[in-house]
Homo-oligomer: A and B are copies of this chain.
Amino acid sequence: MFGRSYFCGEVPETAVGEKVTLKGWVQTRRDLGGVIFIDLRDRSGIVQVVFNPDLSQEALEIAEKIRSEYVLDIQGTVVAREASTINEKIKTGKIEVQAEKVTIINEAKTPPFMITDTTDVSEDVRLKYRYLDFRRPVIFETLKMRHQVTKQIRDFLDSEGFLDIETPILTKSTPEGARDYLVPSRVHPGEFYALPQSPQLFKQLLMVGGVERYYQIARCFRDEDLRADRQPEFTQVDIETSFLSQEDIMALMEKMMTQVMKEVKGIEIPAPFPRMTYDEAMSRFGSDKPDTRFGLELVDLSEIVKDSGFKVFSAAVANGGQVKAINVKASADKYSRKDIDALTEFVAVYGAKGLAWFKVEAEGINGPITKFFSEEEVNAMKATLEASVGDLILFVADKKSVVADALGALRIKLGKELGLIDQSKFNFLWVTDWPLLEFDEEEGRYFAAHHPFTMPFREDLEYLDTDPGRVRAQAYDIVLNGYELGGGSLRIFERSIQEKMFKVLGFTPEEANEQFGFLMNAFEYGTPPHGGIALGLDRLVMLLAGSSNLRDTIAFPKTASASDLLTDAPGEVSKAQLKELYLTLNVNK
């Protein structure tokens, strides 16, 4: 224990009668008629210390000078509290320490906010004084949980024969989704390192090298604007295996996640996790990362209303689109016309030109669009929607992607508003059978849905030239409570397929060779089939901590105002010169 008898929050009842030394911070000080009570805090919790003139006048006099957050060394005797003063709210509530000697190790100014779980100061102030924020138990416990999660993951992967291998931070730029941070090299003027968006190429090279099972808790980087759910540097649990099938990898991850849930949260999660194809997820939930903790699924009514008198519906179907609805059970009376107008504005953000609706009443359906439908159509809709009296039905008719986005987002919003989400649940889900490629209409070309190293379904390879959009990928995302926790895939391990992939993505053979020749050459020296996954650690900890603030899971997060972490250009280069240069970089990238 290195010079202290116990941590404050762990002084046990069995210590009554013991002389102890404690160290910590002053949480509160109360002066009750010449006797001073101090709550002494360290990272383990709190213990009450009493300064009594009968015991030590000298200690009492020092205690009078003590203020919140002073750092103290206390020597005293543990005594049992009288029954009337027992505090059941804290672990050490049955005892207190009678101080015989106190040393002020360091003083403290009045902190700008209280060191308590709840605080009403802005996050900016908390982050400015992050070192005080760490003393708040809720933040410390999140840091501790992050430690525990990584420890569990490391222990599990170690026990399964994975090697923790560090890959470079200073590396070569590779084209992934986001922009790379570039690091000018002074040793090679005019050339740059790039900070990795993921260790993808390195982990594949380790597999070529016969390492077979690699993992790393890897720092990754994206030079993009901050968003609430995005940090320019983030951490992923990066895993790669050789000779394993998609099923093998998914089973391993299930074993790992159930162990983490059990050891960190004390919750038994049944495995295997539910699975769903990408198509099914989009169809039922309007999302590729569905939150399955509640219903409100999307119901396809296109077939029923395609010939209806409501032109918005029939035209949508005729143009290749869809008409889908959500049945908001027993909620007709909860949503006024004005409320529904607000929902219409909400879906407009996702491109929906309107939000049709009706309510199911004992007399029939009621709402502005009801007159357009035949009784047969109404009955068929009601049957398909499993509608009953009191239900509110909300429709979007548009092209497939707009219907999914709008109703998918509306579903989440309604689920939260109506309190349909059981916050104690942890619903893991695999989403499989992703499309390999996505067509970008603006650029008029295909992009890799995951990344260009993802292995297509072998039986779909023949469509790579003729109909790339229908090629499915051997890719799998793990989803938790509506968040994408991670994404994985089997990788291409044959040069010929990798070359074809780059061709489909619009690379000339020369460009592909220049950027990825290193990897494709490696493929020719005995490359095993391989695949892996990457999990977002920040997000995992956020979900396990029951937080909705990603920054609370990171010791020193970046904030929009955190330019104090930046430094001016060194030496005598003018700021204007650099600004000009990087604006140019920015424009031309």
Contacts and interface: CB of A to CB of B under 8 A. Distances in A.
B192 A566 contact: yes
Contacts of A219: 166, 169, 219
Interface of A: 2-4, 23, 25-26, 41-43, 69-71, 105-109, 111, 129-135, 140, 143-144, 146-147, 150-151, 154, 158, 163-173, 179, 181-195, 202, 205-206, 208-212, 219, 221, 223, 225-226, 232-233, 235, 243-245, 248, 493-494, 518, 522, 524-529, 554-556, 558, 563-573, 575-579, 581-589
A186 B195 CA distance: 14
A163 B589 CA distance: 40
A248 B180 CA distance: 44
Nearest to A242: B23
Contacts of A245: 2-3
Contacts of A165: 143, 146-147, 555
A193 B567 contact: yes
A326 to B, nearest CB: 38
A132 B189 contact: no
Closest 9 CB pairs of A and B: A571-B588, A134-B209, A108-B526, A69-B526, A190-B579, A191-B566, A131-B208, A173-B567, A131-B209
Given A71-B528, A135-B210, A209-B135, A583 B172 contact: no
Contacts of A233: 168-170
Contacts of A589: 570-571
A1 to B, nearest CB: 10
Given A70-B526, A209-B130, A571 B585 contact: yes
Contacts of A554: 166
A228 to B, nearest CB: 15
A219 B221 CA distance: 14
Contacts of A150: 164
A183 B167 contact: no
A556 B199 CA distance: 12
Question: Which of A4, A151, A209 has the largest number of chain B CB atoms within 10 A?
Answer: A209
A121 B195 CA distance: 31
Given A130-B209, A571-B589, 11 more contacts: A4-B243, A69-B526, A107-B526, A143-B163, A167-B555, A170-B233, A184-B184, A184-B581, A184-B582, A190-B582, A191-B569
A272 B70 CA distance: 35
Contact of A170 (B182, B189, B555, B558): B558
Nearest to A215: B147
A584 B571 contact: yes
A147 B164 contact: yes
B187 A225 contact: yes
Tally of this chain's copies? 2
Contacts of A164: 146-147, 150-151
A527 B167 contact: no
Given A166-B219, A195-B183, A570 B585 contact: yes
A185 B210 CA distance: 38
Contacts of A567: 172-173, 182, 191-194
B189 A111 contact: no
Given A165-B143, A232-B170, A585-B571, A108 B525 contact: yes
A190 B576 contact: yes
A499 to B, nearest CB: 15
B566 A193 contact: yes
Contact of A158 (B146, B151, B226, B527): B151
A131 B166 contact: no
Contacts of A190: 568-569, 575-576, 578-579, 582
A140 B210 contact: yes
A186 B567 CA distance: 13
A528 B24 CA distance: 8
B527 A221 contact: no
A28 to B, nearest CB: 14
Given A3-B248, A183-B195, A573-B585, A566 B188 contact: yes
A518 B130 CA distance: 11
A493 B106 CA distance: 9
Contact of A205 (B131, B170, B529, B568): B131
